[in-house]
Amino acid sequence: MKEIMNILGKQARASAATLRMADTNAKNNALLLAAKRFRQDMADILSASAKDMKAADENNLEAALKDRLALNEARVEAMAEGLEQIAALPDPVGAISDLVYRPSGIQVGHMRVPLGVIGIIYESRPNVTADAAGLCLKSGNACILRGGSEAIHSNRAIAKCLREAINEAGLDENVVQLIDSTDRALVGALITADAYVDVIIPRGGPSLIKRISAEAKVPVIKHLDGICHVYIDKAADRDMAIRIALNAKTHRYGVCNAMETLLVHQEAMDCLPEIINQLLDKGVEVRGCTKTQALNVQVVAATDEDWATEYLAPVLSIRVVDDMMQAISHIEKYSSAHTETIVTADYDAGQRFLRNVDSSSVMWNASTRFADGFEYGLGAEIGISTDRLHVRGPVGLEGLTNQKWIVLGHGEIRS
């Protein structure tokens, strides 16, 4: 395993050194050529996917997993369009900012640079192969991809298109390498290869991410749970509060930026009956504190475990709080630091909530569902970081870079 990883690692390092200097046109060309190839090689990609689906049937994979695994013409076309969108984004690499003169006479500023080599570990969805490689390529990073064994044929076909396009664009095809083996020991080799890999981005369920974080020697950008809160303040516009609460819970259930807990100021309880009725109408199970339960017989008691659970399902827990500080304390205790929102018309309350809540996205009068790279204008995202270091929230091209210092002098020396 170590030998395979050493070969991949050395190739990645060498290619990263050339990709760092590649001009924007070459990177965009590679992305556009790959999109073209996805369309041209549609039949090959779909027949590779058919092999994965056949194996999935034989292994009795569950339906949800098979749905994520399946490729069809529309999904391959979406992958191609995704790469075209990445090509259209501004290139972050080399951007210079904050260049100022210092008393010594030197000019000091920042230049945005790639991180180096990124390891991506993911499950089932083969489109991640294209999306992740595209984002890494545009941001000047070499990547080593480790997809799920159930998607190996699809991933191979997609990686082949990508590497051929990169080569055709005059770049080193080793900037995108797929670990072409289903041996799980290679995951261990990848996450401990700190000589060759600068950061690991796992994409998958919490158990995968926790296992990788525990064993990694390479820094990990993590996306753990999304236990998101909506807090309805006493000064909330009631119609707005109802609209946001319903959207945050019911727009989509299985997403990380859906609300899992609703906190309501005791003086804003008047909007709760309407919210609860609409939730029940939509088939959402409502759990709640004693005060919430008193409003509707269908509300069942919420336990301490409920407050700490990411349902990803039509279930919501509601708690009535004495005041905003109790809401913030609740968030402090139970939130996964993903996204929280306050609904209020009160300037002071909104300002304090924005400042005091330590989550990757903090909102005021907007649905938690907006916590998303596309909605924020990143164009695309490789994941959402719930870490505190390097990057928080949706991670786009900029999150895959860092800034070095540049100094422009005129012969200055220290005296």
For the bound state, the minimum distance from the C-beta of residue 405 to a copy of itself, rounded and expressed in Å, comes to 4
DSSP codes joined into one string, 223-273: -----EEEEE-TT--HHHHHHHHHHHHHS-SSSTTSEEEEEEEGGGGGGHH
- The site for a copy of itself (CB under 8 A) is made up of 17, 20-21, 94, 100, 102, 104, 106, 108, 111, 113, 115-116, 198-199, 219, 237, 239-240, 243-244, 247-248, 251, 332, 341, 354-356, 358-367, 369-371, 375-377, 388-394, 402-414
Q: Which residue, among 358, 361, 379, has the nearest Cα to 370 in the 3D structure?
A: 361
All residues at 6 or more sequence positions from 62 whose CB lies less than 8 Å from its CB, including other chains = none
Which lies closer to a copy of itself via its Cβ, residue 207 or residue 415? 415
H-state helical runs in 23-151: 24-40, 42-58, 63-69, 73-88, 127-138
Nearest-angstrom CA–CA distance, 318 and 302: 8
C-beta of 10 vs 54, nearer to a copy of itself: 10
- In whole angstroms, the minimum distance from the beta carbon of 242 to a copy of itself comes to 10
Q: Residue 170 is encoded by which pair of tokens?
A: 């005059």
Question: At closest approach, how far in Å is the CB of 321 from a copy of itself?
Answer: 17
Q: Which residue's structure tokens are 């055709």?
A: 168
What letters, b where the CB count within 10 A reaches 16 and e where it falls short, cover 104-115? eeeeeeebbbbb
Tokens of 143: 């990547």
Sort strands 117-122 and 199-203 into parallel, antiparallel or unpaired: parallel
Q: What is the distance between the alpha carbons of residues 244 and 282, in angstroms, rounded to a whole number?
A: 15
Q: How far is the CB of 308 from a copy of itself (least distance, A)?
A: 15
48 versus 321: smaller Cβ distance to a copy of itself: 321
**Residue 4 or residue 364: which is nearer to a copy of itself going by CB?**
364
As measured in angstroms, the least distance from the Cβ of 94 to a copy of itself is 6
8, two tokens: 């991949």
46 vs 245, beta carbon nearer a copy of itself: 245
- Whole-number minimum distance, CB 399 to a copy of itself, in Å? 11
What is residue 268's DSSP assignment? Answer: G
d(CA 278, CA 358): 30
Q: How far is the CB of 136 from a copy of itself (least distance, A)?
A: 14
Q: Which one, 317 or 360, has the nearer CB to a copy of itself? A: 360
- Shortest distance in whole angstroms from residue 276 CB to a copy of itself: 18
Residues 6+ apart with CB under 8 A from 43: none
Taking the least distance from each CB to a copy of itself, the nearer of 37 and 265 is 265
The distance of closest approach from Cβ of residue 93 to a copy of itself in the complex, given in angstroms and rounded to an integer, is 9
Strand 107-114 versus strand 96-101 pairing type: antiparallel
User: Of 144 and 161, which has the nearer Cβ to a copy of itself?
Assistant: 144
Closest CA to 274 of 294, 252, 296, 290: 296
**Distance (Å) of CA 388 to CA 55, 213, 227:** 40, 14, 16
Of 74 and 413, the one with the shorter C-beta distance to a copy of itself is: 413
Are 331 and 353 in contact, with CB atoms under 8 Å apart? no
